[in-house]
A and B are shown apart, each in its own frame.
Chain A
Amino acid sequence: MEKNSTKAMIITLATIGIISAILLTFVYQWTIPYIEENQEETRRAAIKEVLPLAEEINQVERESQIFYEGYDNSGNRVGVAYQHSGGGYNGPIELMIGVDLEAEEIIQISILNHQETPGLGARITEEEYKSNFVGKPFGDYVVVKTPPSKTMEVQAVAGATISSSNTTRIVEEAVSMINNAYGGGS
């Protein structure tokens, strides 16, 4: 067989492709349990962070969305957590939000995944920014650059207005998703 014939080229590439696929199948099967466990672990930690009072978490499906309901020891619902994502400055931002439906307040938010600039946008994961949302009533928020003076104001991370306001939009959306699913919306 001539070395540069079409047949030789097809056979070479097909062989490399098949060997590569076989090897990667093994790698995939070896790593996937760890990868899934990591994701599950991240989600569990995030739910715990946004629903600190919950002793037991129930996963429920409403309007084809997954919600996590947190209950305390005496069986009272202490809040609902929901995972939501949206565009950030460099890529998608994924966050977990916990709300108190009775008080119509946000309990806490937690950033699961993001690709924001380290030192700038990445500071949305820090307590200083996240604490903006603690105890905020449901509704629309205004992103400001100075310490907030009104209830609905959220202070942006210095130098990262886009990351901050996009995160705020994601929070707003998540709140209204929960509100719709639980028949609130008032």
Chain B
Amino acid sequence: MSVNAKQLISDFKNGLWQENPIFRLVIGMCPTLAVTNTMVNGLAMGLATSFVLISSEIVVSLIKKLIPGDVRIPSYILIIATFVTFVDYFLKAFYPSIAASLSLFVPLIVVNCLILGRQETFASQNPVHRSFADALGMGIGFTWALLLLSAVRELFGMGSMFGLQILGDWYRPMVIMVLPAGAFITLGILIAIMNVIGKNATNDTTCH
């Protein structure tokens, strides 16, 4: 395998686990805590954020040389906001029920620091193909983390998964899990588990 392809694969894999935005970098917490109360919401938010992340990393990486350094942040925000508005209209037109349940958290993707952070640390310094690999990995990493978080919360909070009742009538839903406090508790426990797994997996390497 060529060095180039290896590089791309490691860029892609970076976001999945090693620098997972939620469990490792702990960024983009606003949607993470707010919309993971049901799995449908978590998945939709993950995909919407991934789309914005991939599109804006490609554009930023393409025009990075044209942007004066002093206005790079406002430029990134404008580009991100364009794609977010696109997603907002798209969801409202073709997936009205998802748009209704995510409501104001769709426009809020603009200020998700995961997206701005990747423009600043990656897309503005790397070529397009590497930026795309990074965005794809980060997007999938963000999505699976949201999905896991929302699966735990929906299962314990409502006894269902993707809206299908899994646990029977005997189960008394733990209401706190669908409330904001449940998000913090679940996130804390999951990060703890990830840290234990990560420690065992990377025991022989000291760099982190």
Contacts and interface: CB of A to CB of B under 8 A. Distances in A.
Q: What is the interface residue range for chain B against chain A?
A: 20 to 34
Given A3-B68, A9-B70, A119-B158, A34 B179 contact: no
A3 B64 CA distance: 12
A4 B89 contact: no
Nearest to B86: A27
A16 B75 contact: yes
A37 to B, nearest CB: 9
B10 interface: no
A146 to B, nearest CB: 19
Interface in B55-102: 66-71, 74-75, 78-79, 81-82, 85-86, 89-90, 92-94, 96, 100-101
Interface in A68-97: 91
Given A13-B74, A20-B78, A119-B178, A27 B89 contact: yes
Contacts of A16: 75, 78-79
A108 B165 CA distance: 27
B94 A34 contact: yes
Contact of B82 (A23, A31, A34, A38): A23
A113 interface: yes
B158 A118 contact: yes
A35 B99 CA distance: 11
B81 A38 contact: no
A64 to B, nearest CB: 27
Interface of A: 3-5, 8-9, 12-13, 16-17, 20, 23-24, 27-28, 30-32, 34-35, 38, 42, 91, 113, 115, 117-120, 159
